[in-house]
Structure 1
Amino acid sequence: MYVLASVLSFAIQLSAAIIKRQGVAYYDPNANGGSMLDNAGDGLGEPLNVIVSGLSTPDVLTDDGIVNYARAIGFSEECFDIHLGGPQSANLGDGNSWVNQTYELRQDYDSSSIGTCLESLIGGNHFRVYRQNGTQADSGALFLAVSKEEDVSDGHDIVPDGYNIGRNDLVSNAVGQTSFGGVSYTTTAQNVTGLLAPGAVGVNHNISVDGIVTVLTVTIN
């Protein structure tokens, strides 16, 4: 009886944790000392302009899950896993303070194996991933810093209006039906204002943003 009670107790706790994780799309980082700009250095940051909702299918929100989803919408891991430059960090107001990016994923030009090598040369879209999972705001949501960058000859600087363009291009590729590696996804999008301030104050490269954050809800079919 004791063993059965322990198993039931564990099952109830696990169920409660799943319900908690699935019950919130995201928490506003600004409400608890966080920021919708990551830390790119020199006191400037890049906008967290896309959120993969905590209401998405839980498997999408794992490390392997977001990489597979990224491949389904035209992104892959960096060329031969080589990354130039230091990682950027973000404070999502979840109690974890400033945490380095989980991944940086780049446009793969329809080749998940070597396409990101082309992006490193000619430029394109890319995004950084941060997970909101601290004890003070555990939504499980993934906050993405998306931008379109120049080619290597221009030092991978962000193109003019590159934060808005990068977000819009990613969302355009994501919405609707996509698939990769035998996993099929349905993605819906909602634009949200009030999280990210419009303008260029504090924004890396002094590139103005429109203040729109797009929330993606991703369901595995």
Structure 2
Amino acid sequence: MSSPTTMVKRGDVAYYNPIDAGGSMLINAGDGYGEPMNVIISGLSSPAVLTLNGAINFARAIGFSEECFGLHLGGYMSADLGDGNGWVNQTIELRQDYGNAGIGTCLESIIGGNHFRIFVQNGTAADSGALFLAVSREEPVTENHDVVPDGYNIGRNQLVSAAVGETRYHGIKYYTTSQNITGLLEPGADGINHGIAQDGIVTLLTVTIY
């Protein structure tokens, strides 16, 4: 991708590599550990997808929704996307809704499932508009919502599988393509929350409204 020092307007680049400007592909999970941002929604996606409401609607199209009754469970995590904003808390956390966008996430909060946190690359130093997602599959509340074994890879793959191709929600139709990228994340468990290894693959999704 283009260097953050290159003058490129939003909509002309898929994303900037956070590491190029001193950022990280790991979000801050506390105690010195991180969780991988393993999916990126490209800045070349339809602009409406890259807004908060647009991202929520797309999430609903692929089986996720806002948290149970709007109540956030667990801590807020932050990320530095190398865009000049420094460490910024997640914009929103979305959970698997088990087929019911209204109350399905309440079930996920109890029995576990897939979920992701969104971070927006929109600082003046690297304004791609891309959405960086930290995706993982988690245990039920009785296990403190810890990530399941291999949960980073599993969560990413489940989200991508649900997203690719044609989806729709609330009258909006999406067509999504994917590309696996290596070199952004270091494979393995070094520095990763819960000591769970991940394969180092980041999937780039390009989402087009049609």
The verdict on a shared fold, with TM-score over 0.5 as the criterion, is yes
- Computing the radius of gyration over CA atoms, which structure comes out larger, 1 or 2? 1
Gaps of 5+ in 1: 1-16
State TM-score, norm by structure 1: 0.91
What residue is the counterpart of 1:173 in the other structure?
162
| Aligned CA-pair RMSD | 1.0
Deviation for aligned residue 1:77: 0.1
- Choose which of 17, 24, 35 in structure 2 pairs with 1:28: 17
1:86 and 1:118 mapped to 2: Cα distance? 19
**Alignment partner of 1:105 is 2:105:** no
- Report the 3-state secondary structure (helix = DSSP H, G, I; strand = E; otherwise coil) of the residue aligned with 1:38: strand
- Paired amino acid for 1:97: G
In structure 2, distance between residues paired with 1:110 and 1:140: 29
What is the deviation of 1:212?
0.1
1:62 to 32, 48, 51: 51
Correspondence for 1:139 among 128, 131, 135? 128
TM-score, normalized by length of structure 2? 0.96
Which is richer in helix?
Answer: 1
Q: Percent identity?
A: 71
What does the per-residue CA deviation read over 1:164-210, in whole Å, with 9 as the maximum and x for residues that have no partner?
A: 00000000000000000110000000000000000011110010010
SS at match of 1:199: coil
Point out where structure 2 has 5 or more consecutive residues left out of the alignment: 1-6
Q: How does 1:77-116 map to 2 (within 5 A)?
A: 77-116=66-105
- The code of the aligned residue for 2:132 comes to F
Provide the rounded CA distance (Å) in 2 between the counterparts of 1:103 and 1:182: 23
Q: Per-residue CA shift, 1:128-186, capped at 9, x if unaligned?
A: 00000001111000000000000111111000000000000000000000000110000
Letter in 2 for 1:35: S
1:84 Cα deviation after fit: 2.1
